[in-house]
Every structure is written in C-alpha cells, then in structure tokens.
Amino acid sequence: MNLNTIEEAVALTQKFTSRPTNEELLKLYGLYKQATEGDNEGERPGGFDFKAAAKFNAWLTQKGKSKEVATQEYIQLVAALAVKHL
C-alpha cells in the first residue's frame, strides 16, 4: 500500500470495513495527535472519563517524537491495519 501523506492515511481508515481493536485505535490516535500537534501539553482528564484518559495516555506515549517520525509511523500503521480491516 502506497500512502504518501497523513491525509491519505486518514481517508483510508474511513474505508475500513471492520473496526480496529481499542488498542489499535488508541495507537492511531496517539500517533495522529503527535504528528499533527506535537507533544501533549494538556491537562490530564480527571474523574471517571476513562475514554478521555486512555486517549490522553495514548498521545502521551508518543511524547518526544518529531512530527515527521510520528507521521511516518502513523502511515505505516494504517497500511498494516488496512490488510486486516479493508
């Protein structure tokens, strides 16, 4: 699969015919946020918002990665997931 941009990769995820696992989705989220916004500098969600906390943590695991590296890893992950979910 030849994906050149993050936009192409995002468009491909919208064509998946099956849903990736929660772990895969969180990794996609973390890499996407790192690629588009850089390091997570936000406040950790509080209370019982487990979904927001999981997303926050997924992004935090990518901290320190350059936007370029995160973009390439995101594109590679989408290409790998496409084999299972298209």
Higher pLDDT, 1 or 18: 18
Residue 1: predicted pLDDT: 73
- List pLDDT tens digits, range 12-59: 999 999 999 999 999 999 999 999 999 999 999 988 999 999 999 999
Residue 30: predicted pLDDT: 98
41, 5, 13, 75: CA torsion to nearest 10: -70
The first and second tokens of residue 47, run together, are: 């209370």
**Could you tell me which residues come within 8 angstroms of residue 60 by beta carbon, excluding any fewer than 6 positions away?**
30, 40
Fold classification of 6-85 (topology level): Acyl-CoA Binding Protein (1.20.80)
- List pLDDT tens digits, range 69-83: 999 999 999 999 999
Q: Is the pLDDT of residue 2 over 90?
A: no
Q: How confident is the model at residue 68 (pLDDT cuts 50, 70, 90)?
A: very high
